[in-house]
Amino acid sequence: MRRKLIAGNWKMYKTANEAVALAREIWAQAKEAGPVDVLLAPPFTSLHAVEDVIRGSAILLAGQNMHHEPQGAFTGEISAAMLKAAGCTHVILGHSERRQFFGETDEGVGRKAVAAHAADLTPIVCVGETLAERDGGQTEAVVERQTKAALAGLSVEQVAETVVAYEPVWAIGTGRTATAAQAQEVHAFLRKLIGKTHAGAESTVRILYGGSVKAENAAELMSCADVDGALVGGASLVADSFLKIVKGATI
């Protein structure tokens, strides 16, 4: 009953011209609405150009970050309304790289999630433990703290529409992916948690897995009961490998 979502996070890769070329290749194969939702998250400077390519298709567009204020003197930042005007339907919030390198906090991610919904953007809220936290048996405590803070200001209806991405930090860009069993365990935990904090939203909230998802492991991960799609970094930068992941999620 939950549609799967395969989201490509292009991070700080691709100039506008390169982004258009990649978007065209993906568009050619994924423009029609299929059983899986497909989403692209290019850098801000390529949003307009990519939107031009995918306009009228079933492909969704997301920003990779935003500021929580609607506007203001915040040099270097962009707002939810700006993303919306550029054609975005979604925004990635609280990615571990934002938390690790740019000082994003649990509370800050919560403020951004509220601002995203206020602007009619669907947040893709990222949570996930580091290797030290996993080894220390803290995985559930960490993702619980992050998820509670990210969703704290949202209503049940808003959480039902929100996307959560479980991305173990040790699996991001390392080639070391979580096993399907490890992913399922955390996803089931998160769904149960949301059932407690926002009762009723747990059956519709989509929970994506992210961290070294590639064509070879996508189908197995996507077959887990509580895995509703993938947030893909490296493998989303090449049309062929990204489209194979989309296909893998369809089976």
- Residues annotated catalytic, as ranges: 95, 167
| Site membership for ligand PGA, residue 121 (CB under 6 A) | no
- Give the contact letters, 154-173, x = binds to ligand PGA (CB under 6 A), - = no: -------------x----xx
> Distance from CA of residue 159 to its chain's centroid?
14
| Site membership for ligand PGA, residue 217 (CB under 6 A) | no
- Report d(CA 44, CA 65) in Å as an integer: 9
Interface residue with ligand PGA among 108, 210, 229, 248 (CB under 6 A) is 210
Interface residue with ligand PGA among 63, 110, 123, 234 (CB under 6 A) is 234
Nearer to ligand PGA, 234 or 248 (CB): 234
The CB-nearest residue to ligand PGA is 233
| Site membership for ligand PGA, residue 218 (CB under 6 A) | no
Interface residue with ligand PGA among 37, 233, 239, 246 (CB under 6 A) is 233
Interface residue with ligand PGA among 64, 158, 212, 217 (CB under 6 A) is 212
In the complex, minimum distance from the CB of residue 99 to ligand PGA, in angstroms, rounded to a whole number: 12
In the complex, minimum distance from the CB of residue 98 to ligand PGA, in angstroms, rounded to a whole number: 10
User: Which region among 14-22, 26-34, 72-80, 231-239 touches ligand PGA (by CB under 6 A)?
Assistant: 231-239
In the complex, minimum distance from the CB of residue 9 to ligand PGA, in angstroms, rounded to a whole number: 4
In the complex, minimum distance from the CB of residue 233 to ligand PGA, in angstroms, rounded to a whole number: 2
Q: Total residues at the site for ligand PGA (CB under 6 A)? A: 13
| Site membership for ligand PGA, residue 123 (CB under 6 A) | no
Contact residues for 33 (Cβ-Cβ < 8 A; gap 6+) = 58
Both ends of the chain: CA-CA distance in Å?
A: 15
Q: How many CA atoms lie within 13 A of 50 on its CB side?
A: 29
| Site membership for ligand PGA, residue 149 (CB under 6 A) | no
In the complex, minimum distance from the CB of residue 165 to ligand PGA, in angstroms, rounded to a whole number: 7
User: Per-residue DSSP letters for the chain?
Assistant: -PPEEEEEE-TT---HHHHHHHHHHHHHHH-S--SEEEEEE--GGGHHHHHHHHTTSS-EEEES---SSSSSS-TT---HHHHHHTT-SEEEES-HHHHHHH---HHHHHHHHHHHHHTT-EEEEEE---HHHHHTT-HHHHHHHHHHHHHTT--HHHHHH-EEEE--GGGTTTS-PPPHHHHHHHHHHHHHHHHHHSTTSTTT-EEEEESS--HHHHHHHHTSTT--EEEESGGGSSHHHHHHHHHHHH-
In the complex, minimum distance from the CB of residue 200 to ligand PGA, in angstroms, rounded to a whole number: 28
Binding site for ligand PGA (CB under 6 A): 9, 167, 172-173, 210-213, 231-235
